[in-house]
Chains A and B, each alone.
Chain A
Amino acid sequence: MKALTTEQIRSVIARGKLKDSIFQAVGIFCLVVGLLVILLLVGDMLLRGIDRLSLDFFTNFASRRAAQSGILSAWVGTILVMFVTALAAVPLGVAAGIYLEEYARRNWVTEIIEINITNLAAVPSIVYGLLSLGIFVYAFGFGQSILSAGLTLALLILPIVIVSTREAIRAIPAMIREGSMAVGATRWQTCRYHIIPYAMPGILTGVIIGLARAIGETAPIITIGALTFIAFLPPVPFSTTGEGTAGLFDWVMSPFTVMPIQIFNWTSRPDPAFEVNAAAAGFVLMAMVLSMNALAIWLRYRLRKNIKW
């Protein structure tokens, strides 16, 4: 083949660069569309709800009068449910992920388990609600409580936690594992001193992303029967209630509501004044999700700083 002349080389480059610029423009357009939609949504909610965003809104229970209605029981309920969810999903999911990566032999049984975990992530959330209604609420007798809701959402995010644990573990180079085993460590010592600490940034990111998904779930919580109107808080441990002193874990059995249900409730009211409440609560929920994601990013950054190979 004859070598190209300088002219020809330049025209080849020019054609290539044109495609570069076209793709760049398309890419920027797509990015802007995505970002704008979210910004519009959040901005719209903020504008419509800003009048209600005061301290009172956070410290008042829901009320028949829109102007005095607040989200106290909803945000407290959401935080408590998330706490139970994290407490249940993290140990289960992390242990399952470690087992699958570090201990389980590769055979058809683990193959089936793996496929099932992936499928679990795709199960519609209402199905988890139905399952929990049968198991947690009735069979175990947990009732329509924070405990039932927390465990339901824990099941929902379990696949996310397992998958992110496994991916974080897979990112650890084999030579680190071999280095540990070569001095005579057992599998557990290798997990305890190396695999778990080095996988922790990835695991935490997965956990928080899972929780951010759970925080917005409405369907399964309605299914297990969360109340839509609730004017009391779960008992604080060791506080005095009408029935004597509350125990350390009494709050987990308390009825509750959560943010999405409160929003759903308000949007279904005929009085348009409640729509303002719904917008304000929606903005608060968005803020909660965004700050959880921010926390995930910050934690990942902090923990990864000292891990390199």
Chain B
Amino acid sequence: MQQIENKEVPPLKAEARSLNFFYSEVQALKNINMPIYDKKVTALIGPSGCGKSTFLRSFNRMHDLYPGNRYEGEIRFFPDNTNLLSPEVDPIEVRMRVGMVFQKPNPFPKTIFENVAYGLRVRGEKNRRVLDDKVEHALKGAAIWNEVKDRLQDLAPNLSGGQQQRLCIARALATDPELLLFDEPTSALDPIATGAIEELVHELKQRVTILIVTHNMQQAARVSDYTAYMYLGEMIEFGKTDDIFIKPQDKRTEDYITGRLS
């Protein structure tokens, strides 16, 4: 892996160190080392099956839900320097600190309000005033408040696809995560809804560190500060997005970005 020299390096939010991941016997991630900088957007790009979603889902221990999955190495989480992958760290604790937005909008078949309030309820919040405030704040943060403020008791699956995805972002924001994971959040959306999500990602980095997987290289170029190119489970190249797209160091990165490899 080649790392581009930077003059000012921002503080770290997380760092993958010698990360290997196995689906039973199949190794999906190979010795990944990568920093995630605080309050920046980092994009993961690469062809299908390269392990970028697998890598992303390691940050909130989603793989723990299914038997046979195994991690090696560490993901250090700052400022407290916790190893997110340590067996001593409860995956639920990790998920309380690291939010996630999925590829396909997955609102619960409940009301808009209950979707956003869910994370707070899980944390034991019962005070109606606090719930109201935080739900409103989260919906505003996800730029959907104006569209839904008069129908918070409507069922969430009746919203349009783009609205559903912003609702899912609000659901993740409601509990103030330190790191927000996006797994190809716009691949099921039309261009207008995609634009809205991209704009939102751009605004959200004031508040939260973002790691985003995308198939769409223009999207990576538009929204991210840093980009990592992955191929066959390996981290090929990591650097500032401008550098990766303008002067990639590795031939394979260049081939992918210029469309010779997909």
Q: What is A's interface to B at a CB cutoff of 8 Å? A: 105-106, 173, 175-186, 189, 193-194, 198, 306-309
Contacts and interface: CB of A to CB of B under 8 A. Distances in A.
B67 A184 contact: no
B98 to A, nearest CB: 9
B110 to A, nearest CB: 8
B157 A181 contact: no
Interface of B: 60, 62, 65, 67, 92-93, 95-96, 99-100, 102, 104, 106-109, 118-119, 121-123, 155, 157, 168, 171-172, 175
B106 A179 contact: yes
A183 B119 CA distance: 5
B109 A179 contact: no
B99 A309 contact: no
Contact of B122 (A184, A307, A309): A184
A173 B135 CA distance: 25
A177 B95 CA distance: 14
Given A181-B65, A182-B62, A183-B171, A175 B95 contact: no
Given A178-B65, A181-B62, A308-B157, A186 B108 contact: no
Contact of A184 (B95, B106, B108, B168): B95
Contacts of A183: 95-96, 99, 118-119, 122, 171-172, 175
A186 B109 contact: no
B137 to A, nearest CB: 16
B118 A181 contact: no
A306 B156 CA distance: 10
A309 B119 contact: no
Given A105-B67, A185-B92, A309-B157, 10 more contacts: A176-B106, A178-B62, A178-B106, A179-B102, A179-B171, A182-B100, A182-B102, A183-B171, A183-B172, A184-B123
9 contacts: A175-B106, A178-B102, A179-B102, A179-B107, A180-B108, A180-B118, A183-B95, A184-B96, A309-B109
For the complex of A and B, 3 pairs with smallest distance between CB atoms: A184-B96, A183-B119, A175-B106
Contacts of B96: 183-184
Nearest to A177: B65
Contacts of A184: 92-93, 95-96, 119, 122-123, 175
Contacts of A182: 60, 62, 95, 99-100, 102, 172
Nearest to A105: B67
Contacts of A176: 106, 108
Contacts of B175: 183-184
